[in-house]
Every structure is written in structure tokens, then in C-alpha cells.
Amino acid sequence: MKTYFIFFLIITAVIFVQPIHAQSQNNDKKLNDIFYKAIYEYDHGSMEKAVELLEECLDSEPDNAIFMYELASANYMLKNYDISIKICKKLIKHKDSNFMAYQLLGNAYDFKGNYEKALKTYDDGLKRFPNSARLYFEKAITYYSLDKINNAILNWETAVDLEPGYASSYYFLTKVFSESSEPIWSIIYGEIFLNIEPGTKRSLDISKILYDTYKRAISFEGDKVNIKMSKQISQETLPFTLNYELTQGLCSIAMNKTFSIKSLIELRKEFAKVWSDKYSEKFPLEIVNRHNKLIENGHFEAYNYWLFSEGDKEEFNTWFEKNEQKFHDFGKWTENNPFSIDSTNYFSMRVIIKLCRDK
């Protein structure tokens, strides 16, 4: 179910709110004041009061798309899904609506358990807004609820292709692949997510998943280190997954037959060097470019302790007590050198498939 959507509504309502002055040029100051008071109540969790105020706004301007959306959203938050659906069905026909109207309508259907109508709503929205990553994302969530994992992955991948900077797509791809026979994708998607969305509750979740995924992929037999990143042989991605896994295996000697954050740092440091030397032209990875910058600037150790901090809290805390200044310096460097991913340098399975075909 789409409990995450409550968070989404709060931070993205501004997309609808921004054009209020353009759409309501003839509004008097009193109506604008009522509307912004409604938004204040909404943002502070007073949904009943927000609904009351928004209904007053809509009485004055029945065709105002912003008022309609905010009222549908507030009712959605109150779990008044039928009311939200009724408003959204009118809103999607409005000339000033955007993808969010379809998104909200689909989610209301989803919460009512009407998955078929939810999927149809997203598809209808995509006919009007074909490049909406968020609608593909919502389709993926609904398919995931129906346990149609492959369909979910395909739609999340499309969302990544259309909006590479949208963290939620990486979040769910990380979780899905962490439970599969293909941890390679979970490891890469998870690290990208943490760089896009650090410092949230979700980032704590992914930090642990990332650490645990590495731990499941690596095993020791005497002097031998086994690293299994991909158990399914897919011809579409084989040149990439094979070289990635072999390079991890080649670099595993740096782990010194132990599994810890410290040994992962040595593995990953060596991997960045070998991959950059041998495969960066064939398979450029922005996350490896990031590693190289961190290594050059002396922050790779602190970065990895941050990255895996939830995986082994005791090891992280022990390191932090002795290296607080290093951690602080890494934080300052990150503020001045934010991770950037866009349509020119993003990673997805589809990108890899295309690169494999082109080689």
C-alpha cells in the first residue's frame, strides 16, 4: 500500500500551489488569505480545518484547479477516499491539471483496494503526460502490491530513465533486488539512493540493506573469498554483470579474509581503481567516479563508514569516536561537492542493456 504517498503529498503540493496568482488574478485578498491559511493547516496536520477552509475557497471559485487538488488531497489524508476520487475525476478533465491529479486519483483507488482502476488511471494519465516518471513509479507500486514483481521493476526502471534524480525509484529497486538472486543491482541502486537522499529515515533503512546485501554476497572458505553478485545468467546484461563480479572477486584479496566496514572499504577502494582502469570506457559508472573523487580528496574512509553505518553500528561508533574530525571534514566536502545525477550520467539496468548491445 502507498503509505509513502502521504509524505509525497506534503512536499509536492507546492507544484499546484505555485501558479495560484496566475490562475486567480481576480481573487480578492481575503480569498487568498483563506487559501494560504488552509495550506498552513494542511502542513501542520489539521486536515479537518484545512478541508473546511478549502471548501470555502472552492465555493468562491468552483473551477479553480488548485483549490480542487488541495481539497482532494486533504480528504485523501483523512482517508475520505470516495470524496477525493469524486473531486479528482472532475480535476483530471480540467485544462490546468497536471500529472498529480492522476497520481492522487490512482492512489485513492489503490487504497480502496481497486488496483485495476488504479492502474487504468495511471495509464490514462500517461496518455496525457507520457514523460511523467511519477506515474510510472505509481504503477510500479501497485504492481508490487499485486506481487507482480517483474512488472514493478520495469516501471521503476522507466521512472529512473525519465527522472534520474527521483530518489524513491532507487529506494524500491534497492529493496526488491536485495531480496532477489541479483544483489548487484541492489548494491548499485542503494548507493545511488543514499547519495541522493542522505539523512532520512529511509536512508537508515537502505544503509543497513546495503551492508547486509554485501554480507550475503560475500563468503569465505579458508583462504578463498567467494563473491556472488548475480546468480541469474542474463545475456542482456552478462558482459556487465560478469565483469563486475569478476572484478569484485579479483579485488577481494584486499579484504584480508574478514567481513567488516573496514574490509569493505579496502575491497571497494581497489574495485574503483581496477574498474576505472579496465572498464570505465565500456561501462561508465557515476558512483565509481564519485569514489575516485572521494579517494583523491581523502574522504573515502569516512564516506564508507557513513554509507554502512546502520549495518554495523558498533564498528561505526568505535571508528567515529576516534575520527570525528575526519567525519566532519567529509560532511563539509560533501556540502561543497554534492552528488549529481541526471540524464547524461545516470545508471539503470536499461542503460546497461543498451551498453551491452552496443559493445
Are 133 and 169 a contacting pair, CB within 8 Å?
A: yes
pLDDT of residue 276: 98
Give the distance from CA 124 to its chain's centroid.
Answer: 24
Residues 166, 133: Cα–Cα separation, whole Å: 8
Q: How much is the CA Rg of the chain, to the nearest whole Å?
A: 24
Among candidates 243, 258, 259, which has minimal Cα distance to 308?
259
CA dist 24 and 36 (Å) reads 13
Residues comprising the chain, all counted: 359
CB 311 within 8 A of CB 210: yes
What is the DSSP secondary structure assignment for residue 11, as one 8-state letter? H
So what's the pLDDT on residue 3? Answer: 56
SS3 200: coil
Q: Are 219 and 226 spatial neighbours (Cβ–Cβ below 8 Å)?
A: yes
Alpha-carbon gap, residue 65 to 98, rounded angstroms: 10
Contact by Cβ (8 Å): 267, 308? no
| End-to-end C-alpha distance for the chain, whole angstroms | 41
Q: What is the pLDDT of residue 51?
A: 97
Q: What is the pLDDT of residues 195-254, one digit of tens each?
A: 999 999 999 999 999 999 999 999 999 888 999 999 876 889 999 999 999 999 999 999
Instruction: Report the C-alpha gap between 240 and 106 in whole angstroms.
Output: 37
**DSSP secondary structure string, 20-77?**
HHHHTTT--HHHHHHHHHHHHHHHTT-HHHHHHHHHHHHHH-TT-HHHHHHHHHHHHH
The residue among 22, 23, 25, 16 whose CA lies nearest residue 71 is: 16
Q: Which residues of 4-21 are buried (b: 16+ CB within 10 A; e: fewer)?
A: ebeebbeeebeebeeebe
Q: ∠ at Cα 212 (338, 241), nearest 5°?
A: 75
User: What pairing do the DSSP bridges indicate for beta strands 224-227 and 218-221?
Assistant: antiparallel
Tens-of-pLDDT digits for all 359 residues of the chain? 565 554 445 444 444 544 444 444 445 789 999 999 999 999 999 999 999 999 999 999 999 999 999 999 999 999 999 999 999 999 999 999 999 999 999 999 999 999 999 999 999 999 999 999 999 999 999 999 999 999 999 999 999 999 999 999 999 999 999 999 999 999 999 999 999 999 999 999 999 999 999 999 999 998 889 999 998 768 899 999 999 999 999 999 999 889 999 999 999 999 999 999 999 999 999 999 999 999 999 999 999 999 999 999 999 999 999 999 999 999 999 999 999 999 999 999 999 999 999 86
Q: What confidence score (pLDDT) does residue 9 get?
A: 52
* Domains contained in the chain, CATH given: 1-140 (1.25.40.10), 198-359 (no CATH)
Beta-bridge partner residues of 139: none
CA distances from 86 to 47, 90, 109, 350 (A): 18, 7, 11, 38
Q: Chain-centre distance of CA 130, in angstroms?
A: 20
pLDDT of residue 28: 77
Q: For 199, left (φ over 0), alpha (ψ -120 to 50), or beta?
A: left
Note the pTM of the prediction, 2 decimals. 0.91
Range 221-235 burial, b when 16+ CB lie within 10 A, else e: eeeebebebbeeeee
